A and B are shown apart, each in its own frame.
Chain A
């Protein structure tokens, strides 16, 4: 059974179509990523799948339940980390966990044990009695991840889980996501505009742009769309060094440093055949390196634009604004 099934989903705001007829399947137990620039419709899709927004047309099921007809059944089976912080910053970490657990119908020692285990898992147990407003961005994210796991969801939604965090913290959050997926055997649906994040975490990726899915597959499959991987070989040939010829080799060049450069459709597929070719020709391969296209290259190839633009800068600005508003709110 699929954890998420989406068919021809459309979400319109007045004249603006945020999501323009997308369909996809997420298999049980996989990490599936929506990759795309800001404003691509990723968060809107998450909000529809988590029953916060009603679709204009089309349908979706999450954990076997229809998001429109059975919202409560869906809500019981999902966990969410929203893009914007949704903790109660006036309360302590522990109180945030406690309130979440009770709202989801947990209680007693079971809840206490779970809170302790999860806060230890995200290394916040020592900070449990501190107000969330004193936490760094990374600590808040970790707390939100812990909170989203409290009721043991079948499907976990992570909307831009590492946005605005420094590289070290991001890598740390990735470790948590991988560890918890292993431990809890969950399906994870994540959105991101970071290529490395999608690549590091996701089993499969859908690239989204302007409300549409423009490509879908594993990171390797997506890169295969571009073709022209580049392979560098250092070889020892019985006779004079010359170019290799085969149907899967699109181009070949001898480099001044003695290496051979091959252009191939897909290095993953070409390498085994290259080894065969070499051994049948009595050529010894001493060293292989290859340059793969990045997902950014894929996005560029599909849309003619870079995925990044200045998304990060805008995000940093937004965070700053929010902090300022929050301070204003507290002064009151």
Chain B
């Protein structure tokens, strides 16, 4: 347990030391919320649009999506930056320690997920000024954010451990983060998408977090049902963190 908590501590410390990252991770979702959200709010200010967006105004519809996106971006970055540890040697320090590797990597993933969730909390708190949200939905929505954080940080770690250099870094961000964000239903409902896109949405973990937290925060009827949302998120968190742990146990330095 000590190795686990130490790695969580490390993630939190690392984050608190880098002011640029803290500010950037708040500003980016705010830009989406305000410029993207306010921009479309006027367009969707009619009864027809309200029925598309589950009976709520567009801003209220968008906030749970942006919160999930924030957690997603943040936890993916937290996970994938293990490539920096690999490149700059800190990974060796862990690999050569008489410590459980599973504990170490799960600690790192959990630390990343906690960081991501805290970003989500900040965005959510600010969003109460912009949209009509339900206070009672905050806790369950954060629970979902945490599970997404674990799943995505685990995915990031698993990908980064397979990367041998940082060359593919930008590419991975483009190829994974953007499509997953657009396919999650954060900005528009998935049931009006073409069939093939709907299919991709359904294999995207983020979709279930958006669906579930939109129910909790905005009261929009969930597409998949809450049981499905929780089970998928919980299952994916366990699966992806497990894959990351297995890969990390095999990790060598070359």
Contacts and interface: CB of A to CB of B under 8 A. Distances in A.
A52 B92 contact: yes
Contacts of B3: 102-103
Given A52-B253, A80-B96, A107 B2 contact: yes
A201 interface: no
A104 B88 contact: no
A328 to B, nearest CB: 8
Interface in B224-254: 252-254
Interface stretch (B8-16, B53-61, B113-121, B187-195): B8-16
**Size class of the B contact interface (CB-based, 8 Å):** 20 to 34
Interface string A46-85: 0100111110000000000000000011011010101011
A82 B92 contact: yes
A47 B89 CA distance: 13
Interface in A65-117: 72-73, 75-76, 78, 80, 82, 84-92, 95, 99-100, 102-105, 107
Interface string A168-188: 000000000000000000000
A75 B97 contact: yes
B97 A104 contact: yes
B176 to A, nearest CB: 16
A50 B166 CA distance: 26
Contacts of A322: 88
Contact of B98 (A99, A104, A131): A104
B253 A84 contact: no
Name B's interface SS. helix
Which of B17, B92, B93, B104 has the most chain A CB within a 10 Å cutoff? B93
A25 to B, nearest CB: 23
A80 B89 CA distance: 12
A85 B90 CA distance: 8
A47 B253 contact: yes
B95 A52 contact: yes
A52 B253 CA distance: 7
B92 A104 contact: no
Contact of B2 (A52, A82, A102): A102
B84 interface: yes
B164 interface: no
A75 B92 CA distance: 12
A85 B89 CA distance: 6
A237 interface: no
A103 B254 contact: no
A285 interface: no
B45 interface: no
Interface in A152-173: none
A84 B89 contact: yes
Interface of A: 13, 47, 50-54, 72-73, 75-76, 78, 80, 82, 84-92, 95, 99-100, 102-105, 107, 131, 322, 325-326, 329-330
Interface of B: 2-3, 5-6, 9-10, 13-14, 17-18, 20, 84, 87-90, 92-99, 104, 166, 252-254
20 contacts: A50-B96, A53-B254, A75-B97, A75-B98, A82-B89, A82-B92, A86-B90, A87-B89, A87-B93, A88-B14, A91-B13, A102-B5, A102-B6, A103-B2, A103-B97, A103-B104, A104-B99, A105-B2, A107-B2, A322-B88
